[in-house]
């Protein structure tokens, strides 16, 4: 079973367990949308809906403490826009079981989308006639400043991985064992812009040095060759020379391995990136993640080529509009052309 199939199976199992705790119409809804939603997205939507139903169970007078598994579509038809707004107001800041929760507008927007999707589905099936979410004023999404590494910062970051610069004595002990692996991972991120989930899924058999490329499974499930530089190829070959020291479990074909010989996890890579950021770039350590390395690649490639379509294809974006965020925030490029027409 491939890593992608294992991930899908993992989230499908979690989704099924969650649906066992929810109304029957939710299972019907997710079965009806399984051709449109990945297992990861379906689980995310289901989690949001479960929180919403639990809120109704605890706080809405009409539902009066009923078991959420007994909720029906007719019950949903009774909810008003004001009921949804009360839920969103509660979600912003509330305390449950002694734990205080604070949620951003971006998080609230995810809940709005999950609830609205459920209503829209059953309106199309003519089981409902009104979507109470439609009347909610949604705040405009603010453009975030792109966090990226400048050239000197990239050098410091990679030096930390290659030479252990800035690491503590205890970290240096682990660095001696993992230097080739960690350096290859960070180089691959900055050289290709792939997602952390895509990198984790790479197998040794996916490497094609004749093409100077690696085959990855994109977010939507499509397979694509991503090309890397000669420098990164040399770094990958150096890692492959020592990969056997991780003692791969059974027939484990994963490219990047943990100390137990199993596929390195997304969480492990996130922690590793944070470790090198804290030693090399303490002023930015809270902001540097695998996704910020992807942002660095995107802006660098856009500056070098000026070809937003090429950048979009390299990043695996389904929509070109998603890539424009890197063009809109490239302040350095705008400064370079300020006197161009004089």
pLDDT at 290 over 70: yes
Query: What's residue 193's pLDDT?
Result: 92
Query: What's residue 307's pLDDT?
Result: 86
By annotation, the residues acting in catalysis are 195, 219, 291, 294, 317, 326
Question: Domain coordinates of the chain in residue numbers?
Answer: 3-124, 151-330
- In the DSSP assignment, the letter for residue 263 is B
Query: What's residue 19's pLDDT?
Result: 96
From CA 220, how far away is CA 70, in angstroms rounded? 34
Query: What's residue 135's pLDDT?
Result: 93
Query: What's residue 113's pLDDT?
Result: 95
Residues 25-70 have pLDDT tens digits of 999 999 999 888 889 999 999 999 999 999 999 999 898 889 999 9
Residues 171-223 have pLDDT tens digits of 998 899 999 999 999 999 999 999 999 999 999 999 999 999 999 988 777 88
Query: What's residue 236's pLDDT?
Result: 97
Q: How confident is the model at residue 142 (pLDDT cuts 50, 70, 90)?
A: low
From CA 99, how far away is CA 49, in angstroms rounded? 20
Query: Quick check: helix, strand or coil at residue 94?
Result: strand
Q: How confident is the model at residue 5 (pLDDT cuts 50, 70, 90)?
A: confident
Residues 73-96 have pLDDT tens digits of 999 999 999 999 999 999 998 877
Query: What's residue 308's pLDDT?
Result: 86
pLDDT at 170 over 60: yes
Query: What's residue 140's pLDDT?
Result: 66
Residues 310-323 have pLDDT tens digits of 888 888 887 777 78
Q: Does domain 151-330 have CATH number 1.10.443.10?
A: yes
Mean pLDDT on 251-264: 91
The neighbouring-strand residues paired with 215 are 225
Query: What's residue 87's pLDDT?
Result: 95
Lowest mean pLDDT among 77-81, 101-105, 325-329: 325-329
Q: Is the dihedral of CA 279, 281, 283, 286 positive or negative?
A: negative
Residue 45 has a CB neighbour count (10 Å cut-off) of 23
From CA 129, how far away is CA 203, in angstroms rounded? 49
Answer whether 191's CB lies under 8 Å from 298's CB.
Answer: no
Chain length of the chain: 342
Q: Which two tokens stand for residue 294?
A: 């992807």
Helix locations, the chain, DSSP H: 3-19, 24-32, 39-59, 73-77, 81-92, 105-124, 151-163, 169-192, 196-200, 230-242, 266-280, 290-305, 308-315, 320-328, 331-336
Q: Which two tokens stand for residue 90?
A: 């509660």
> What is the radius of gyration, based on Cα positions, of the chain?
24
Residue 54: which of 44, 43, 68, 75 has the closest Cα? Answer: 68
Q: Which two tokens stand for residue 7?
A: 């991930």
Residue 65, sorted as left (phi over 0), alpha (psi -120 to 50) or beta, turns out to be: left
Residues 218-254 have pLDDT tens digits of 877 788 899 999 999 999 999 999 999 999 987 789 9
Query: What's residue 327's pLDDT?
Result: 72
pLDDT at 266 over 90: yes
């Amino acid at each position: 079973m491939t890593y992608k199939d294992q991930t899908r199976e993992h989230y499908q199992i979690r989704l099924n367990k969650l649906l066992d705790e929810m109304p029957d119409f939710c299972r019907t809804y997710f079965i009806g949308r399984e051709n449109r939603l990945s297992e990861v997205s379906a689980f995310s939507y289901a989690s949001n809906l479960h929180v919403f139903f639990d809120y109704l169970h605890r706080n809405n007078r009409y539902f009066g403490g009923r078991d959420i598994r007994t909720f029906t579509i007719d019950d949903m038809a009774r909810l008003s826009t004001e009921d949804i707004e009360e839920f969103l107001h509660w979600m912003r800041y509330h305390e449950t079981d002694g734990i205080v929760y604070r949620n951003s507008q971006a998080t609230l927007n995810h809940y709005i989308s999950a609830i609205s999707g459920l209503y829209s589905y059953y309106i199309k099936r003519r089981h409902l006639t009104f979507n109470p979410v439609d009347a909610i004023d949604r705040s405009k999404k603010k453009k975030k400043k792109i966090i990226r590494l400048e050239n000197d910062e990239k050098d410091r970051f990679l030096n930390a991985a290659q030479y252990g610069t800035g690491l503590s004595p205890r970290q240096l002990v682990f660095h001696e064992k993992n230097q080739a692996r960690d350096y290859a991972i960070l180089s691959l991120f900055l050289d290709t812009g792939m997602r952390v989930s895509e990198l984790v899924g790479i197998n040794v058999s996916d490497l094609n040095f004749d093409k100077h490329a690696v085959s990855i499974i994109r977010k939507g499930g499509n397979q694509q060759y991503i090309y890397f530089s000669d420098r990164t190829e040399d770094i990958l070959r150096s890692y492959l020379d020592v990969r056997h020291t991780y003692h791969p479990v059974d027939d484990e074909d994963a490219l990047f391995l943990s100390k137990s010989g199993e596929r390195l996890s997304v969480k492990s890579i996130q922690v590793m990136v944070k470790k090198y950021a804290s030693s090399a770039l303490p002023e930015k350590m809270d902001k540097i993640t695998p996704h910020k390395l992807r942002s660095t690649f995107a802006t660098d490639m856009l500056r070098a080529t000026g070809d937003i379509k090429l950048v979009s294809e390299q990043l695996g974006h389904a929509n070109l509009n998603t890539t424009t965020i890197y063009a809109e925030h490239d302040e350095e490029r705008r400064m370079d052309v300020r006197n161009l027409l004089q």
